[in-house]
Amino acid sequence: MTFDMSKQGSRVLYVNFQQIGDGVVETESEQLFSFSHLIENTNNYVCEIQRFRIPLQTVPMQDAIQNAVTLRSKSASSDIFINTQVTFSLYEWMLQLSNSTAQFNIILTSDGRIQILDFDLSAFSIELNPLISDIFDLPLLIDGAGVSNIIGGSPVWDRFDQAFKINIEALNGLLNLQQEIIDTNVFTTILTDFIIPSTHSLSVTNTLGAPLTNQITFVYPQREDLEFNASSNGRKINFRGSAPIQNIKVRVTVIYRDGTRHPIVIPRNGVFNLKLAFFKKPDA
């Protein structure tokens, strides 16, 4: 079917996309208009995302890291190798490191920096995987007599999460929008992109006369649905040329800090939905 947008008051057309998760299906959806064009002349329209809901619970904050930390023995005893598994929270990841060996315990300081507690550097030196070194904000090799507590140089909150932003892309139907270069000879049509929010907080409670600090409460970043509703932040996109629109397919990918793109799996009973608006230009 082709919508007649020439009638008085007919200035906008909405197309809704939705996908229900089963733990396997990815965040993409398609609307098919097989027998005719949805819009005949795209030169008369601009496109805008009105709202979306993207479940991010399956996106790990850190992938597994082999030999994340190596405790290099300075005696005849064996070296200790600490691996980390896929994790979805900073708290869970810190527990993995602390529970791996009695010699290695880490906490967060009251300003959000990583602290290695009561470590015997006379018996072991610490070698960090480059990824861990970046997260801790510490050198690759930690060694020094008489040092027992090591503190990272800056808060770890946002730097810990390997995911940086999400892209909402058009796989077909909207390819006459401006395309962006992703990699050598790889182009994609990006409708919009969003930085993944990282919500965290801490509170410190001191009791008069008690040693500092008496109590610290952390709220760690966690994965939630990313939601957006039309606002002043919306962005209208012009089409290049007048090619018609028939079928439309959209997809969401997550971008890691190393620049790689990854699909997002919708968790079981999770919901991905997106609403596209096509506004007719005033002079069309």
pLDDT digits (tens, 9 = 90+) for 134-193: 999 999 999 976 677 899 999 988 789 999 899 998 887 676 666 665 555 556 788 888
Which pTM value belongs to this model? 0.80
Banded model confidence at residue 1, pLDDT cuts 50, 70, 90: very low
Mean pLDDT for 13-19 is 90
Amino acid 35: pLDDT? 63
Amino acid 232: pLDDT? 62
Amino acid 10: pLDDT? 64
Distance CA 117, CA 105 (A): 6
pLDDT above 60 for 55: yes
Q: Are strands 124-128 and 141-142 parallel, antiparallel or unpaired?
A: antiparallel
Provide φ and ψ at 132, rounded to 5°. Answer: -70, -40
Which residues 6+ apart lie within 8 Å of 50 measured at CB? 14, 229, 230, 234, 275, 276, 277
